[in-house]
Amino acid sequence: MERETMTPLSSSYRSALSTAAKDALVRRSRPQQLPGRTVVVHDHEISAELAARYARMFHRNGPALDTADLPSVLVHVASFPAAMELMADPDFPLPLLGMVHLRNRVVHHAPVPAGTPVEVAASATRLSAHPSGTTVDLVVTVHGPARVDRPAYGTVSDPSDGTGELQLLWEGTSTYLAAGVHLPAHERPAKAGHPPFTAPQLTAQWRLPASTGREYAAVSGDFNPIHLNPVTAKLLGQKGMIAHGMYLAGRMLAGREPAGAGHEWEISFATPVLLPGTVSLGVVHADRRNAEITTELTTEVTAWNGRTGRPHFTGSITVPGSGPGHRSGPGQGRA
């Protein structure tokens, strides 16, 4: 499925609502396998204006964003609608509405500049049984013009589009859970116990206002009611309005991504962050050496509710440090 323009998130949500209504009326059984197609969007651009709005969410009075090297979560925000189009299709085996966001893993191989046409491709893989339902991975890649002055970070399994003109700049995997949906072809695994959570040393706090979800929606175009209004959030099964997972990821990475160099990061979600609210953070830095004897700098972040002691998320970012593969040091870290 090839596109010249990105399908808006609003269109995908309308399609998902229509499919859910039809399924409820006719008790349609969904397919048991993932669609084998890939959604490809050509000449997609992330505008400098969108980048500026994104930056203002985290740095209201900070320096201007480097539009030659966009933040990794902004690349996700601008490219993930291609994956949403896949999930909203009637032949997708899991319902889009009600999906639970479990985790993200991203390898940011090389800078993604604003205003430069890139090719976005999205596919679904790893339909797996889970004690609480069924999980699926949505894989998104971003290819752009190759730059010989910026060697790629990490292992690039798909280095180009086959023409030598495009380089893999960014690849991300988002894992979602369809709670309560158990496919007949998948044996349900037994529930595993979770080790008790012990909060690390407190190093920082985030104070998130009630407007956090609306600010993220204005930038991302993701107007999910659970992030916008406490009444609609409760109607949809939440205890109240909650922060978007990718807002939390973006805030975790803000000020920690290296300028002009590749890096990788991941985040795993636990309990939602209610808005307004305060998030307690424990941040730990470590130097690690990889197989090429290159030092990598890893920052691990744990977030939890200081009042209840329940975890919100764990995450990490790894950037190149000193050594033979050194390209750039990390930006100044912040909470």
Domains and CATH numbers, the chain: 1-184 (3.10.129.10), 193-335 (3.10.129.10)
Model confidence over 95-133: pLDDT tens digits?
988 899 999 999 999 999 999 999 999 999 999 999 999
Q: At what angle do helices 245-253 and 212-220 cross, to 10 degrees?
A: 90
- CA separation (Å) from 72 to 52, 83, 256, 266? 14, 17, 11, 11
Model confidence over 156-211: pLDDT tens digits?
545 444 445 789 999 999 999 999 888 887 777 778 777 899 999 999 999 999 99
Confidence label for 1 from pLDDT (cuts 50, 70 and 90):
confident
The three-class DSSP label of residue 295 is strand
The pLDDT of residue 149 is 58
Confidence label for 323 from pLDDT (cuts 50, 70 and 90):
very low
Model confidence over 89-105: pLDDT tens digits?
989 999 988 899 999 99
Q: Write the burial class of residue 101 (CB in 10 Å: 0-12 exposed, 13-18 middle, 19+ buried).
A: middle
218 vs 37: CA distance, rounded Å: 30
Of residues 272 and 183, which shows the higher confidence score? 272
Residue 199 one-letter amino acid: A
The pLDDT of residue 326 is 36
Q: Are strands 204-208 and 263-269 parallel, antiparallel or unpaired?
A: unpaired
Report the range out of 27-41, 53-67, 71-85 with the highest average pLDDT: 71-85
Does the pLDDT at position 277 exceed 60?
yes
Average pLDDT over residues 260-270: 92
The pLDDT of residue 313 is 99
Of residues 23 and 176, which shows the higher confidence score? 176
DSSP code per residue over 186-250: SPPPPPPPPPPP------EEEEE-TTHHHHHHHHH----GGGT-HHHHHHTT-SS-B--HHHHHH
Q: Which residue has the tokens 């509710």?
A: 305
Give which of 149, 313, 184 is closest to 243, Cα–Cα: 313
Element containing residue 88 per DSSP (H, E): helix 81-88
Q: What is the DSSP letter of 34?
A: -
